[in-house]
Structure 1
């Protein structure tokens, strides 16, 4: 009896207790979804996607305030450029640094309000909050979940 090289590899794998190449091809392993870093659950509502239940709940509250006329121009996931794109002396291109605000709206006094819903405050957020104040003169309102 003569074996092909592929059959020989499959037999050696079976003897070693591993799945054969053919078995792995016919029954691929399913990808496991990793849990979110801070334990939040993504929520989708009416075609809008939210990073957490707390963010979704805050959106519902702000949308209710907008319908009541308390606030206006409510927007979701607004990008603010903090550091523009640059080219280093060696010619390497650096992408811009952007802060993505959860919510932006205009309050009754006509002032723009930028809100970010936070369960855990990260060092990156602290830095971006300070850059927002320095670059745009906007104080980010932190909403705790």
Structure 2
């Protein structure tokens, strides 16, 4: 047995192995400018995740068709990405703020309670901006969201919740 396989097997058998509860989502938005601006003049500045509504709901236990283990609990996340852009177009230069709504859920451990503190972390993996029409720009943001149980070490942080 190779060293890598042995290490993986030991981690799965070890009681200190922690399950991870995460979701990768893609958030898309189309918005307009007052005039045509090529995406090469758009400088993406930042995206910050805000989650004003986080609710724990009871669901079924079992295994989904995709093979995901369902614990009977889901954390429903509703919020928005607060995005900022700089436009440097010839002699014109301006700043744009745009809120992009999102909602998703994460399957969490079955022993999670409504009174618990929910530690949610996220990482912006990719931002793509492209022109789709004369005055319209399409933005796509790929986001990794993770529920951290037992205050585990944070792996990736790209802003404030």
Establish whether TM, by shorter chain, passes 0.5: no
Higher relative contact order (CA 8 A, sep 6+): 2
Query: Which has the larger strand fraction?
Result: 2
Q: TM-score range by the shorter chain?
A: under 0.3
TM-score, normalized by length of structure 1? 0.24
Structure with bigger gyration radius:
1
| Higher helix fraction (1 or 2) | 1
